[in-house]
Amino acid sequence: LLYIQLNLQPEEKMNCYLCFLLFSSIFISSLAARNRYQRTVRYDGEILVRCPVNAPGVKDLLQNDYVDVWQINADGMADIRLDKDLLQSASFIDAKAECTKIADVEALVQRAENITFPRKQQAEWFEEYHTYNEIVNWYKELCQRYSSICSYKLSIGESIEGRDQPAVHISGSSRSEMKIYFQCQIHAREWISGATCMYIANYLLESYGTNNRVTTLLDQVEIIFVPFVNPDGYVYTWNGDRLWRKNRRMNSGSTCRGVDLNRNYPDHWGEGGSSSNPCSETYMGSSEESEPETQNTINYFKGNGPIIGAVDWHSFSQLILRPYGWTRADCPDETKLRQLGDDMRDVIRSVHGMVYTSQKSIDLYSTTGTASDWFYSDGAAENNGGYRAAGYTIELRDTGRYGFNLPPDQIIPTGNEVVPAVLKFAELLLDNPLRPRH
């Protein structure tokens, strides 16, 4: 033993032994955290570049089916992940002159992994990220703990690989008519999305009965969470490709897997801002609503009206995006939706000073077949109790330093700043819900 070899005194032996046990437990805990996460895909030869979107050749690069656009910021700069050989091709010689390399993707992911894993021994729940099974069990236990105001639904339907998509309902009164709908983790790699939804749910349940504002709100509105729009993709980010975005469909006639579920909703599907190439990160699917995950969330939304507000939670870029993504024309409720987005932006900034941008989706880039545009659409408004849902996409932290690999020490501050915005969102819609216009 170590203390015998060092010829220590008895009390020193005990101290050394205790230190050895502590070190061993930390090591085992860290190893266990690593074992949950087993990335098998490497990104050798891939780089992340930053390009001015209006520069010569960059528009063509952004529209290429074999690049992965991570963000376009308010300054008109795009962060693009691609194979370095693509940028060397003659087709993108102009873009190459305008773009600056930010990082090698493999090195970027490895640095993020070293921050995320290992975690400290006996970390609190919101101090680390969690697997699909861990999150499902956490929601079950949460609703059991607060069974008078929380109900857990095992599955609203199954994913393409047969995993359940659970749902959680939180309400302080069985008389609540109005509902708010949150869906999470539609894009697999955006781990902070699911973590933030858990934080919101936990805050609401812990605060009911002790916080007057939360109690008053939950006595008037039911809040619905769908924790996993894309369970298969999320699982694959833990045991395969950390940067995976789409679901895990095997696409007929292609070796490329997956459909971008946020281009698969039946609202102006296939009219631009998406791709018909299965190898693209924005592949829209073979038809609108082709994916079971999309079908399940649509059916659940329609079966739980009246829903007056809905948010599809994403990362990253710190954006509050309102309709539309498919046209530059203002939606009929543009004034109300702009003010609501601006109010949420201001509330978020008041907490930690984080700056979010409130804007129309199309002001970022063109998108079609998205969840948030569908929430607001005529199709979703049918049989919704005479209401139209205020639909938003919220892109959480950060603005590019870590991107999709946001460290777990930012889960709690992200939740802290988003919770008051959620309360504001629900309160304003309760006071002044949207009505369909004919």
One digit per residue, the tens of pLDDT, for the chain of length 438 reads 333 344 556 555 555 555 454 444 434 444 455 578 999 999 999 999 999 999 999 999 999 999 999 999 888 999 999 999 999 998 899 999 999 999 999 999 999 999 998 656 678 999 999 999 999 999 999 999 999 999 999 999 999 999 999 999 999 976 778 999 999 999 999 999 999 999 999 999 999 999 999 999 999 999 999 999 999 999 999 999 999 999 999 999 999 999 999 999 999 999 999 999 999 999 999 999 999 999 999 999 999 999 999 999 999 999 999 999 999 999 999 999 999 999 999 999 999 999 999 999 999 999 999 999 999 999 999 999 999 999 999 999 999 999 999 999 999 999 999 999 999 999 999 999 999 776
Across the beta sheet with 150-153, the strand order is 150-153, 167-170, 221-226, 178-183, 307-315, 390-396, 319-322, 357-360
Chain centre distance of CA 426: 20
Predicted local confidence at residue 16, as pLDDT? 54
Tell me the pTM: 0.91
How far is it, in rounded angstroms, from Cα 87 to Cα 240? 26
**Residue tagged active-site, from 98, 190, 289, 395:** 395
Task: State yes or no: is 395 an active-site residue.
Answer: yes
Nearest Cα neighbor of 157 from 50, 253, 300 is 300
Confirm if 174 and 222 have CB atoms less than 8 A apart: no
How far is it, in rounded angstroms, from Cα 400 to Cα 357? 14
Across the beta sheet with 77-83, the strand order is 68-72, 77-83, 46-52, 100-104
The token pair that represents 212 in the structure block:
């007057």
Predicted local confidence at residue 118, as pLDDT? 66
How far is it, in rounded angstroms, from Cα 274 to Cα 288? 12
Predicted local confidence at residue 25, as pLDDT? 42
HSE at residue 318, side-chain half, CA atoms within 13 A, is 21
How far is it, in rounded angstroms, from Cα 361 to Cα 295? 23
Confirm if 258 and 245 have CB atoms less than 8 A apart: yes
How far is it, in rounded angstroms, from Cα 156 to Cα 149? 20
